[in-house]
Amino acid sequence: MLFFSKNKVFALLILLVSFFTPFTGACGLFAVIVAIMAAHALGFGKEQLQNGLLTYSVVLFGLGFGTNFEFGIAFMALLVVGALLTFFISAALNAVLNKRGLPALSLAFIISTALLIVASKSFSGIGLTHRHIYWYNELYALGGNRLINLLTNIETWNIPDFVAGFFRSISAILFQVNIGSGIILAIGVLIYSRIAFLLMVFGYSIAIFFGYLMGGFNQIDMSYYNMGTNFMLVAVALGGFYIIPSVRSFLWIFVSVPIAFLMVSSVGSLMFKQGIPIFSLPFCITVILFLYMLQMRAKPGKLVLTPVQYYSPEINLYTYINGKERWMPMMYHQLSLPFMGEWMVSQGYDGNMTHKGDWGKALDFVVLDNEMKTYRYPGNLPEHFYCYNKPVLAPADGLVVEIIDFIEDNEIGGNNAQQNWGNSIVIKHAEGLYTKLSHLKKNSFKVAKGAFVKKGEIIAQVGNSGRSPEPHLHFQVQANPYVGSKTMSYPFAYFTTREKNDIVFHTYKIPNEGSFLSNITTNDQLHQAFNFQPGYLLKVKADNYAEEEWEVGTSVYNETYFYCKQTKAVAYFVQNGTVFYFTNFIGEKNNLLFYFYEAAYKVLLSSENKINVKDNFPLSVYAMNTVKWLQDLLSPFYIFLYMQFESEVKKDANTLHSGSLSFTSKRVLSLFGKEKKISTATVTIENGKLHAFTIQTSKKRIEAICTL
């Protein structure tokens, strides 16, 4: 959790560096063990402790305490008491702040250390140590002359103060002030995240520049914990960790780092008078302040708070770019088109006939024949119009809150401006989310006010009542339950449009005027095969691979996932009745679950038409190489590397949905727009069950068989 990371290599490096001052390191370790044991005894759950949110302040406390105080019985007693105090404060702060979506950062460590430092002044049993002045002694004990020589050598290297200060500042996070530790930690940061490294350099440079402008700071000051480190941490936290890294987030560092700078000077000098080091307090205040401020915005804007924390700026960014569409289901209710078959949008949003002003975000639908006419000859009666009398469906589950059902149909060309909306129904889907369907036929309602309707249920028939010169269906989404409320812009979750000879699949779009729309007809068999319920167990076998058992589970956040019992890999997925897609993969990559993740990354559960579904993999699931490193560095600004995915269910006229069915998919690597096919896959479904999948790359072929 230090440095925001969950990277194991980085963690090892941190451990290594902290033992450059073995005593200090041991204090950190001891403190955290005490805290964890106490937490277990108190009944804290494994889940609460596993991610280290509650304990990393304890580690910092241990390290800080070890650095500052002389060893002795009083020291040990205070260390134990202090560690527990830190843990308690941590628990309390996390509870208070997390509720508001804010991190507690290292506040607990700062508070408890400050308390102990002030208190220790009146305790004669414990005194400040000079050990850190003579830390070579410890180093000698650890690694002999060679290590000392190495580190002193580095100190004498002819590197500019600016760079040396940078490394010292990094090492100061672990209460050290030497370039060697700094370099190792910097490498660790680089392995953990290129963006974070870039941000550290940015934050440090901005602080130096700002200090230079103010004329009050010199570079030597930067090297202390309470100086340079704060700015680097602020830059990482706000530039790429709690906020999705982007050009905007980088630009805002130019504001947030100087704010932290201000804190360092002001709060620092106040606390200095009490003899309390400020540690990372400026960082904590700045970050919490900034994040709280951002949460108060009415519109999320383009500076996006990280929706799901993956503890790496890269993963956060790639998952975010990749998941913009995937977050749609979280932001929008899943609405479907309110009719059967193919209809055309005769008037779209802000149309030039009647969709004006506050009532502009509405859609009118009609049925057309091959000659683009809405009626058959002679067209002088509502009955001649293709859409007349057609069933109207509920766009989503909901409660019928209003029905108007007494208005006669107009003659063709007529217009009833008195009862503008004609016979209408308003359905409530959620708080502040209502849909209204209008110009319906009198006495055609199949439901009553107060009824609960299911998505796709027939609720009425199209008529020609109200302001309707010819039969059509009016649809709008509104925030209020009244007929006549103003409209709001809202997309349909999934639908297809017919363009020339192609059927195009749309997700969370608002249909355009003139487009021909149809709902997605799901294939029962595909739907059944991908309807993985918690507890579902799948055995997967392939040559050259160990047999795997995948169990379907649900997390506390209600995410469904496959858990591979052998490799412990986890693949998160969503199946919403129309589409199946994976949202994340965690764990080892060289196994069958990962290959299945690649093969069935996104599948439209319909075989009615030949529909190509495209998506991109988050780059973070792919292994490191030079190009990827470069991409990571540039990722907040420009993406040139894509791992594209395409899938297509074989068009099948088998409307009874029996027998077998298959879909193919491929992965294409795109580098600066140049595409290269990486692999193809085929997944077969038999009798409503996942049967097998095959993956073909240039090097190998994997044929996996799935059994229950």
As a whole number of angstroms, the distance between CA 574 and CA 507 comes to 14
As a whole number of angstroms, the distance between CA 239 and CA 637 comes to 12
Task: Output the smallest distance, CB 538 to another protein, in A.
Answer: 24
Whether residue 704 contacts residue 592, with contact meaning beta carbons closer than 8 Å, is answered with yes
Task: Output the smallest distance, CB 456 to another protein, in A.
Answer: 5
Among 297, 356, 376, 539, binds another protein (CB under 8 A): 376
- Residue 400 is a binding residue for another protein (CB under 8 A): no
**Candidates 139-147, 198-206, 213-221, 647-655 — which segment interacts with another protein by CB under 8 A?**
647-655
Q: Which helix (H) or strand (E) holds 614?
A: strand 612-617
Among 266, 489, 555, 658, binds another protein (CB under 8 A): 658
Q: Give rounded-to-5 percent helix, strand, coil for the chain.
A: 40, 25, 35
- Residue 645 is a binding residue for another protein (CB under 8 A): no
Whether residue 550 contacts residue 562, with contact meaning beta carbons closer than 8 Å, is answered with yes
- Residue 454 is a binding residue for another protein (CB under 8 A): yes
As a whole number of angstroms, the distance between CA 425 and CA 443 comes to 12
Helix (H, G, I), strand (E, B) or coil at 276: coil
Among 72, 275, 341, 514, binds another protein (CB under 8 A): 341
- Residue 295 is a binding residue for another protein (CB under 8 A): no
As a whole number of angstroms, the distance between CA 411 and CA 572 comes to 55
Which tokens hold the place of 46? 């494994």
- Residue 648 is a binding residue for another protein (CB under 8 A): no
Which tokens hold the place of 521? 């007809």
As a whole number of angstroms, the distance between CA 203 and CA 195 comes to 12
Task: Output the smallest distance, CB 494 to another protein, in A.
Answer: 15
As a whole number of angstroms, the distance between CA 446 and CA 456 comes to 13
Q: What are phi and psi of 701, to 5 degrees?
A: -135, 125
**Candidates 110-118, 229-237, 383-391, 468-476 — which segment interacts with another protein by CB under 8 A?**
383-391
- Residue 387 is a binding residue for another protein (CB under 8 A): yes
**Candidates 37-45, 51-59, 258-266, 341-349 — which segment interacts with another protein by CB under 8 A?**
341-349
As a whole number of angstroms, the distance between CA 140 and CA 132 comes to 13
Output 50 or 654, the one with its CB closest to another protein: 654
Type of residue found at 675: E
Burial of 22 by CB count in 10 Å (0-12 exposed, 13-18 middle, 19+ buried)? middle
**Candidates 86-94, 137-145, 386-394, 482-490 — which segment interacts with another protein by CB under 8 A?**
386-394
Give the N- to C-terminal CA distance of the chain in Å, as an integer: 39
- Residue 58 is a binding residue for another protein (CB under 8 A): no
Q: Which residues contact 391 (CB under 8 A, 6 or more apart)?
A: 339, 340, 458, 460, 461
Output 298 or 653, the one with its CB closest to another protein: 653
**Residue 423's beta-bridge partner residues?**
440
Among 415, 655, 687, 707, binds another protein (CB under 8 A): 655
Output 278 or 520, the one with its CB closest to another protein: 520
**Candidates 195-203, 398-406, 617-625, 653-661 — which segment interacts with another protein by CB under 8 A?**
653-661
- Residue 707 is a binding residue for another protein (CB under 8 A): no
Task: Output the smallest distance, CB 696 to another protein, in A.
Answer: 26
Whether residue 104 contacts residue 97, with contact meaning beta carbons closer than 8 Å, is answered with yes
- Residue 475 is a binding residue for another protein (CB under 8 A): no
Type of residue found at 574: V
Q: Which helix (H) or strand (E) holds 49?
A: helix 46-50
Task: Output the smallest distance, CB 53 to another protein, in A.
Answer: 44
Among 52, 307, 360, 391, binds another protein (CB under 8 A): 391
Q: Which helix (H) or strand (E) holds 59?
A: helix 56-68
Output 446 or 666, the one with its CB closest to another protein: 446
Output 343 or 508, the one with its CB closest to another protein: 343
- Residue 458 is a binding residue for another protein (CB under 8 A): yes
As a whole number of angstroms, the distance between CA 490 and CA 429 comes to 13
Output 116 or 366, the one with its CB closest to another protein: 366
CA distance to 598, 664, 700, per residue, from 543 (Å):
18, 21, 11
Q: Where are the beta strands (DSSP E) in 354-421?
A: 362-366, 391-393, 398-404
Among 225, 343, 445, 508, binds another protein (CB under 8 A): 343
Judged by CB under 8 A, the number of residues near another protein is 26
Among 342, 402, 408, 551, binds another protein (CB under 8 A): 342
As a whole number of angstroms, the distance between CA 244 and CA 222 comes to 27
Please state whether beta strands 433-440 and 473-478 pair in parallel, antiparallel, or not at all (unpaired).
antiparallel
- Residue 650 is a binding residue for another protein (CB under 8 A): no
Output 385 or 562, the one with its CB closest to another protein: 385
- Residue 448 is a binding residue for another protein (CB under 8 A): no
- Residue 456 is a binding residue for another protein (CB under 8 A): yes
In terms of Cα–Cα distance, which of 644, 620, 616 is closest to 632? 620
Whether residue 171 contacts residue 151, with contact meaning beta carbons closer than 8 Å, is answered with no
The CB density around residue 501, as the number of other CB atoms within 10 Å, is: 5
Site string for another protein, 100-119 (x = CB under 8 A): --------------------
Task: Output the smallest distance, CB 18 to another protein, in A.
Answer: 59
Site for another protein in 488-517 (CB under 8 A): none
Among 221, 457, 648, 686, binds another protein (CB under 8 A): 457
Output 361 or 442, the one with its CB closest to another protein: 442
- Residue 386 is a binding residue for another protein (CB under 8 A): yes
Output 295 or 655, the one with its CB closest to another protein: 655
- Residue 339 is a binding residue for another protein (CB under 8 A): yes
Output 390 or 474, the one with its CB closest to another protein: 390
Task: Output the smallest distance, CB 514 to another protein, in A.
Answer: 18
- Residue 389 is a binding residue for another protein (CB under 8 A): yes
Among 41, 293, 653, 708, binds another protein (CB under 8 A): 653
Site for another protein in 519-538 (CB under 8 A): 521, 524
Q: Which residues contact 643 (CB under 8 A, 6 or more apart)?
A: 616, 617, 619, 622, 667, 668, 669, 670, 678
Output 188 or 382, the one with its CB closest to another protein: 382
Task: Output the smallest distance, CB 611 to another protein, in A.
Answer: 15
**Candidates 22-30, 202-210, 387-395, 697-705 — which segment interacts with another protein by CB under 8 A?**
387-395
Output 242 or 530, the one with its CB closest to another protein: 530
Site for another protein in 356-375 (CB under 8 A): 367, 369-370
* Maximum distance among all Cα pairs of the chain, rounded to whole angstroms: 106
As a whole number of angstroms, the distance between CA 78 and CA 82 comes to 6
Torsion of CA 319, 242, 189, 135, to 10 degrees: -160
Whether residue 356 contacts residue 486, with contact meaning beta carbons closer than 8 Å, is answered with no
Where helices occur in 215-349 by DSSP H, the ranges are 219-222, 230-236, 247-273, 281-295, 313-331
Task: Output the smallest distance, CB 691 to another protein, in A.
Answer: 17
Helix (H, G, I), strand (E, B) or coil at 199: helix
Task: Output the smallest distance, CB 373 to another protein, in A.
Answer: 11
In the complex, which residues of this chain contact another protein (CB under 8 A)? Answer: 339-343, 367, 369-370, 376, 386-387, 389-391, 454, 456-458, 521, 524, 653-656, 658-659
